[in-house]
A = this chain, B = another copy of it.
Amino acid sequence: MRPSGRKTDQMRQVSFQRNVSKHAEGSCLVKFGDTHVLVTASLEDKTPPWLRNSGKGWVTAEYGMLPRATGERMKREAATGKQGGRTQEIQRLIGRSLRAVIDLEALGEKQITVDCDVIQADGGTRTAAITGGWIALHDCLKWMETRNMIKLERVLKDHIAAISCGIFAGQPVIDLDYLEDSAAETDANFVMTGAGGLVEVQGTAEGKPFSREEFLNLLDLATEGTKQLVELQKQAIA
């Protein structure tokens, strides 16, 4: 029995609120239950040094948590003077995931920075950030298309969505909230495209090792879950 009363294959209520920023080219407030992430996609007329004069653009991500997004207040990373290992790991994951569906040549020599700031955390912030990040990125590219800078369909090749799964109380479950996450035996994150292809798979045994069969159960849950998320993305941008 899950603390929230959800069924093992039941995700939390997911919503995307678009255009929440007056300034950003694309933006989205994404909610997976009590996990709320504010995502902005910012177009910049530059590229990283290693792409200069290559004709290719870049999509990168940054991730942060407000200090009291969590149950205990955490130290502000700007005040401690560096981004922690967890932060860097997550923002690298978000960036790789979004780039997996972008044609960087079709984008041209521009950079889009996707900022994912966790307003409130209740487990699954990185998967919410990726899933909502796709909406903000889509809207930024739409903004560019409106100005004849790109062809949206040539740059954005597919949807991308992410979900966590884990083994909680001996059961494979989807979309863990904080209570489940902190007690799970195994914790995994999956990033998949609209066409069902895998982009990132990350599984970690928190307690005892997991088996091939258990891992496949998680993969099955994630496959179904990301399919639903992609459907919700389609409704959101319709």
Contact = CB atoms under 8 A, between A and B. Distances in A.
B212 A219 contact: yes
Contacts of A71: 23
Contact of A204 (B73, B84, B96, B209): B96
Interface string A23-35: 1100100000010
Given A198-B211, A200-B205, A219-B212, A62 B79 contact: yes
A119 B21 CA distance: 8
Contacts of A204: 96, 199-201
A178 to B, nearest CB: 10
B119 A38 contact: yes
Given A23-B69, A38-B119, A81-B81, A198 B208 contact: no
A203 B200 contact: yes
A21 B113 contact: no
Interface stretch (A9-17, A86-94, A123-131, A228-236): A86-94
A209 to B, nearest CB: 2
A1 interface: no
B64 A76 contact: yes
A89 B88 contact: yes
